[in-house]
Amino acid sequence: MVWRLVIGLGITLIALAIAGRRVAWLYKLTMSGQPAPERVAAAREHTGARVEAQAVEVLGQKKLLKWTVPGLAHLFVMWAFLILASVYLEAYGALFDHDFHIPLIGTWPVLGFIQDFIAVACVLGLITFAVIRIRNSPAKLDRRSRFKGSHLGGAWLILFMIFNVIWTMLLFRGAAINVGVFPYESGAFASEAAAAVLAPLGESANAVLESVGLLLHIGVMLVFLIIVVHSKHLHIGLAPINVFFSRRPDGLGGVPPILKDGKPLDFEEADPDEDLFGRGKIEDFTWKGFLDFNTCTECGRCQSQCPAWNTGKPLSPKMVITDLRDHAFAKAPYILAADDEARANLSDAEKAEAERPLVGDEEANGVIHPDVLWACTNCGACVEQCPVDIEHIDHILDMRRYQVMIESSFPSEAGVMLKNLENKGNPWGMSEMKRLDWVGELDFEVPVVEDKLPEDVEYLFWVGCAGALEDRAKKTTKAIAELLHIAGVKFAVLGPMEACSGDPARRLGMEFLFQMMAQQNVETLNDAGVKKIVASCPHCFNTLANEYPQLGGEYDVIHHTQLLSKLVEEGKLTPITPIEENITYHDPCFLGRHNKVYAQPRDIMAKVPGVTTQEMHRCKDRGFCCGAGGARMWMEERIGKRINTERVDEALETNPDTVSTACPFCLVMLGDAINEKKSNGAAKESLEVVDVAQLLIRSVKGEPAEPVAAD
């Protein structure tokens, strides 16, 4: 059977040459990105955690299994790739030796069974995918389809190719059984069924079918390989690499600073002509950025969860990634050109692509439209869902950084906020002395740090700008202070020495201002000898806990719901007065998804007698943003439905007496939307939105709440 050996090896060499050329090109393009030594260093330092991530996310498909049906379907198909590699080993062995079997385990019936089982499971997975794709067709659902904007034809082709892998496998194995060259005497049930179908054709026909089936099986795999390296299905090979080098534990929480040689860029020494202030062109992204772009599977999970997309805005996190990828591919001839002369010889279309601005409107033919860039609330729903650990927020922020710091191009409303931060240390531009107004409304003393934190004080209470200056949020601040006082927790506040944590500046992209504000706060905190902080604002909490360490501020930071839940658990706070209300809890993104605090606010409510809780459809890790994050609080929302209105509509479906939350920004956003609903009769007049701390103080003290939405 020399002919089949020659054909088998011949087509393999041709396919490997074509695929290898493409892989080399992809590698070159990816590595043309900026260096990211911190990724390599982190991977080296935490190799164990990264290997664990491979086991959990890649082999265990943890993120995909969050969506049970498509998750299971993908699990079967992915494991089919791994297990059926042993069938390909047998197939190539059979090219050389008809009776080939894998040494040691190659005649073990269990292996034969596993191979056939996963092949059948894979077919079931393919059918499931086909049904999902038909039911979620963009033609039927338009924006509600997670596949809107994905390359649909390519996806069907891949399903077809995987199906071809399976039937050709059964063809050559069934025929092999009939001609007596099959390695397994039993176990391979599906192959045996195929053999039963083929047996009536006779031995010589089966001998031919065995060879034809074998070559078809190998040929299908080789065509599949070529298609994969030229399509979005690159993720088959790239996903494990992307997961290995991704930020751990995920791309949420704090965002990385602008890095230079793997270290935070010091703006006092930085030179905008030499140093990268964010990403202004595709070549400014690191190789990890390029890897993210190439790894996207276009599954649309991110898009389906995005609050901006779901309220009719042009931002789709999937399309941000695929647009960047498509642009990188189209600009590749320019990027990879050896020199200026080679660039001058590029086609007009290639030159035009090279000149496209990364961010720009229709007229400028930008890759990313400004309306897309500025619609992101940094809610993290996309990152949370992405099965291949793509870091959307980091890329969006990097592009914002360039727009803000180099181009001075950002929504004009946000400029007022930046000016206020710079001049007054808070986004509202209020006097720093007003930060202590709420203290005077309490009937006990709150120590204010003047120099050092008094020795008997356990926690610094980081009040935050909203908590100190915004009327509705001040009610939460007072509730927290009262609860800590009742529980006997010693705390103090910084008062006028506290400045904005810098979160709105950083999330807008004004990294320089963030660094300035954060450094000032770190200095204040370190000078005061602060070790433990309780923060009421999830944005401050996230910044202090996850971002200040980048600037030398290492503290034990806790959110007020975590501390209050602990105090209730320890019996230091006893909710006694019943609150007979139906309450739905809204997860603040920077508390929940970014920092995984889901249980404690719910634990507090569960301890309040009389309270019945009902979850909204989208909750916990799939919670829906209020629309304020990513500095969106300071920008107009001109396109589509307002995000806070969408969220309150969802809350109203639970027929609540009260909406609770744990963030001053959510409080304001939801409160505004509820007021609007009340004004048009869509919500009952008594509906209020409160922080869980306000609920708790009501029950502990037996006092009526200070309603927020009624303001």
Among 241, 302, 457, 604, binds ligand SF4 (CB under 6 A): 302
Q: Which of 171, 381, 457, 487 binds ligand SF4 (CB under 6 A)?
A: 381
Rg (CA), the chain: 30
Shortest Cβ distance from residue 594 to ligand SF4 (Å)? 10
**Residue of 378, 521, 536, 658 that binds ligand SF4 (CB under 6 A):** 378
Our finding on whether 70 is near ligand SF4 (CB under 6 A) is no
Within 8 A by CB and 6+ apart from 106, the residues are 90, 100, 183
Minimal distance, residue 664 CB to ligand SF4, in Å: 19
For the bound state, the minimum distance from the C-beta of residue 228 to ligand SF4, rounded and expressed in Å, comes to 15
Q: Are 368 and 376 in contact (CB under 8 A)?
A: no
Alpha carbons 177 and 472: distance in angstroms, whole number: 76
For the CB of residue 653, give the shortest distance to ligand SF4 in the complex, in Å. 21
Sequence-distant contacts of 116-120: CB under 8 A, at least 24 apart: 116/187, 116/188, 116/189, 116/190, 116/191, 117/189, 117/190, 118/76, 118/79, 118/80, 118/83, 118/84, 119/80, 119/84, 119/166, 119/169, 119/170, 119/190, 120/190
Maximum Cα–Cα distance across the chain: 98
Which CB, 413 or 556, lies closer to ligand SF4?
Answer: 413
CB of 309 to ligand SF4, least distance (A): 6
385 binds ligand SF4 (CB under 6 A): yes
Report the site for ligand SF4 in 310-329 (rule: CB under 6 A).
Answer: 315, 317-318, 321
Dist CA 297 CA 239 (whole Å):
9
**Which phi and psi (to 5°) does residue 475 adopt?**
-65, -40
Report the side by side order of strands in the sheet with 491-492: 491-492, 459-462, 532-535, 556-559
Q: Which CB atom, from 119 or from 388, has the smaller least distance to ligand SF4?
A: 388
Beta bridge partners of 286: 34
Shortest spacing between CB 3 and ligand SF4, in angstroms: 43
Place of tokens 């692509």: 353
Interface residue with ligand SF4 among 8, 254, 280, 300 (CB under 6 A) is 300
The CA distance from 191 to 204, in Å, is 18
Does position 376 interact with ligand SF4 (CB under 6 A)? The reply is yes
Q: How many whole angstroms from its chain centre is CA 251?
A: 6
Minimum CB–partner distance for residue 215 and ligand SF4 (Å): 34
- Shortest distance, CB of residue 151 to ligand SF4, whole angstroms? 11
Contact pattern for ligand SF4 over residues 686 through 705, marking x by CB under 6 A? --------------------
Provide, rounded to whole angstroms, the least separation between the CB of residue 501 and ligand SF4: 19
Q: Could you give the CA distance from residue 659 to residue 185 in angstroms, rounded to a whole number?
A: 65
Q: Is 16 or 132 the residue whose CB approaches ligand SF4 more closely?
A: 132
Choice between 257 and 629, CB closer to ligand SF4: 629
Choose the stretch contacting ligand SF4; rule: CB under 6 A; options: 293-301, 502-510, 524-532, 613-621.
293-301
By CB under 6 A, residue 241 contacts ligand SF4 = no
Closest CA to 235 of 150, 178, 160: 150
Task: Report the nearest approach of ligand SF4 to the CB of residue 497 (Å).
Answer: 32
Residue with tokens 């909204």: 616
Tokens 């944590």 appear where?
A: 501
Closest CB to ligand SF4 among residues 192, 391: 391
CB of 308 to ligand SF4, least distance (A): 5
Tell me how far apart the alpha carbons of residues 459 and 478 are, in angstroms, rounded to a whole number: 16
Residue whose CB is less far from ligand SF4, 74 or 101:
74
User: What is the number of H-type helices and E-type strands within the chain?
Assistant: 31, 10
**Among residue numbers 462 through 521, which ones bind ligand SF4 (CB under 6 A)?**
none
Pick from 57, 192, 298, 587 the residue near ligand SF4 by CB under 6 A.
298
Q: What's 125-184 look like in SS3? A: HHHHHHHHHHHCCHHHHHHHCCCCCCCHHHHHHHHHHHHHHHHHHHHHHHHHHHCCCCCC
DSSP 57: I
Provide the minimum distance between the beta carbon of 332 and ligand SF4 in the complex, in angstroms, as a whole number: 20
Q: Which of 155, 306, 421, 631 binds ligand SF4 (CB under 6 A)?
A: 306
CA-to-CA dists, residue 667 to 311, 413, 691, angstroms: 20, 21, 7
Percent helix, percent strand, percent coil in the chain, to nearest 5: 60, 5, 35
Is residue 623 at the binding interface for ligand SF4, with CB under 6 A as the rule? no
Integer distance in angstroms from the first to the last C-alpha of the chain?
86
| Alpha carbon distance 591, 539 (integer Å) | 8
Cα 679 to Cα 631, 670, 675, distances in angstroms: 27, 14, 6
Q: How far is the CB of 705 from ligand SF4 (least distance, A)?
A: 31
308/535 with CB nearer ligand SF4: 308
Q: 333 or 630: whose CB is closer to ligand SF4?
A: 630
| Least separation in angstroms between CB 432 and ligand SF4 | 32
Contact flag: residue 677 with ligand SF4 (CB under 6 A): no
The region of 41-49, 303-311, 543-551, 605-613 touching ligand SF4 under the rule CB under 6 A is 303-311
Q: Measured on CA atoms in the order 618, 619, 623, 626, is the torsion positive or negative?
A: positive
Number of residues near ligand SF4 (by CB under 6 A): 29
Best CA proximity match to 379, nearest among 550, 551, 198, 587: 587
Smallest distance from the beta carbon of 348 to ligand SF4, in angstroms? 31
- Residues 517, 425 contacting (CB under 8 angstroms): yes
Using the minimum distance from each CB to ligand SF4, give the nearer residue, 309 or 461: 309
- When binding is defined by CB under 6 A, the residue of 307, 333, 623, 656 that contacts ligand SF4 is 307
Judged by CB under 6 A, which stretch of 197-205, 374-382, 448-456, 702-710 contacts ligand SF4? 374-382
Q: Which of 70, 257, 380, 671 binds ligand SF4 (CB under 6 A)?
A: 380
Site for ligand SF4 contains 379 (CB under 6 A): yes
211, 377, 476, 660: which one binds ligand SF4 (CB under 6 A): 377
Among 247, 301, 327, 474, binds ligand SF4 (CB under 6 A): 301
Verify binding: residue 393, ligand SF4, rule CB under 6 A: yes
Shortest CB 375 distance to ligand SF4, Å: 7
Of 305 and 543, nearer to ligand SF4 (C-beta) is 305
Task: For the chain, give the number of residues.
Answer: 711
Task: Say whether residue 420 binds ligand SF4 (CB under 6 A).
Answer: no
CA angle 41, 43, 45 (to 5 degrees): 65
- Contact in structure between 98 and 1 (CB atoms under 8 Å): yes
Q: Which residues bind ligand SF4 (CB under 6 A)?
A: 296-302, 305-308, 315, 317-318, 321, 376-382, 385-388, 390, 392-393
